[in-house]
Amino acid sequence: MIFQPSPEHSPMKRPLTLASLVALVALAACQPKPDIAATASQLPESFNQVVVLDADHLVLDGKKVQLANAVAPSAIPGARCWSEAMAAKQGRRAVREMFFAARHIDVRDTGQRDADGRSVALVQLDGVDLGETLLQLGLAAKPAAKRLDWCAPLSSRMAEGPSLAALGDLNP
């Protein structure tokens, strides 16, 4: 007796045969590999490694930097209250995003050192001053002789603190 496949089991009706599976694997192996040099060129021009400790404390290629023109709230464990810790987290996240999006980083050392020995510097991302951006966004205050109390009521720190408009949803 000779076996005759029914029309629904015919090789022409099978969705995937061994030959087509081998052809698919071969085509997949021929796909271009990601270009590592092209990926590396997407990194900012100036630095290979950027670590954002706080919005105003950075480590750029191993060099510790304090922003010269902005003071951000401290993260845990240095935060004095939950509000300061949350503000620090928001600022750190914003700065990380800014560095990730930046194509060029420029750091101008002022020649000064902070109390912890970090270089005090002005940082620009794509020509825009990072400290000024943080001030405009309400994520930092201007440096002053007395450290800003991020936990105090807004009414007691209006003169030296961030703009109230920047803190609210008043800006588009």
| 3-28 per-position pLDDT tens digit | 445 555 555 555 545 555 455 445 55
d(CA 100, CA 97): 5
pLDDT at 34: 44
d(CA 163, CA 161): 7
- Name the burial class of residue 136, with classes exposed (0-12), middle (13-18) and buried (19+) by CB atoms within 10 angstroms of its CB: middle
Backbone angles phi, psi at 161, to 5 degrees: -85, 180
| pLDDT at 121 exceeding the cut of 80 | yes
The pTM (predicted TM-score) of the whole model is 0.65
Lowest mean pLDDT among 42-46, 47-51, 73-77, 162-166: 42-46
The secondary structure of 72-87 as a DSSP string is PPPPTTT-SSHHHHHH
* Domains, the chain: 43-143 (2.40.50.90)
